[in-house]
Amino acid sequence: MVFIAILSIIAAYLIGSVNFAVIYTNAFVRKDVRKYGSGNAGSTNALRVGGKASGILTFVCDFLKGAICSYFGIRIFEYIFDKCGASWAMPAYGAYLCGIACLIGHVYPIFFGFKGGKGVATGVGLFLPICPLATLVGLVSFAVIVLLSGIVSISSIIAAVLVVVTALCCGRLDGKLWIQIILALVALFIVEIRHKDNIKRLINGEEKRILKRGKKNGKN
């Protein structure tokens, strides 16, 4: 049964390693997203480099791969728990472990030279089977903050924190809470550490806006 759990985690990492930003920007504009814009292989840079279709498809697919891996983590660990009743096989643990493996695959994809995205869409997606409300809070807060600030990075950083807090307060609590707290914080840490350069630019007031406001004289 331990072998099945390990295989599911490895499979989740491999699924996470499918980088849709690279795939879609290459398909739409024949460019490697990692060589243009910010160099990040995520939905925001896919939007900049490949256009709206590339950015939207990247976000949706990155979100779904996180949600799918987390969901199957729950199902697989439920199967293991039903068969042997092992305390380590609580379904919530499976969701986090497979979701985090997918997230690591997205950030460090084995198929794309270990150079991936920052994990926001995949990270939010992994919480969908654990706590749909947390995912909703993350998506809404991200959208609102982007509209108000025009800065994707700060929206991502705040949304990630809100998702984790909501999931720990309202999500499934099978198993020990402290283990879920650790696993949720690991997911949060991965996303936040990938934004360390953005945080530095935010502190220095150098972070670029994705939504540019028009000037007062009416010129864009």
Mean pLDDT confidence for 180-198: 93
Instruction: Return the structure tokens found at 124.
Output: 């939010």
Over range 33-53, report the average pLDDT: 92
Considering only CA atoms, which of 129, 124, 118 is closest in space to residue 143?
Answer: 124
**Considering the chain, what is the average pLDDT of its residues?**
90
Phi, psi (rounded to 5 degrees) for 97: -65, -45
pLDDT at 78 exceeding the cut of 60: yes
More confident residue, 214 or 82: 82
Any residues with CB less than 8 A from the CB of 23 and at least 6 apart, and which?
A: none
Query: Is the pLDDT confidence value at 14 over 50?
Result: yes
Over residues 33-40, the mean pLDDT reads 90
Weakest mean pLDDT among 18-27, 105-114, 133-142, 196-205: 196-205
| Mean pLDDT, rounded, for 170-182 | 83
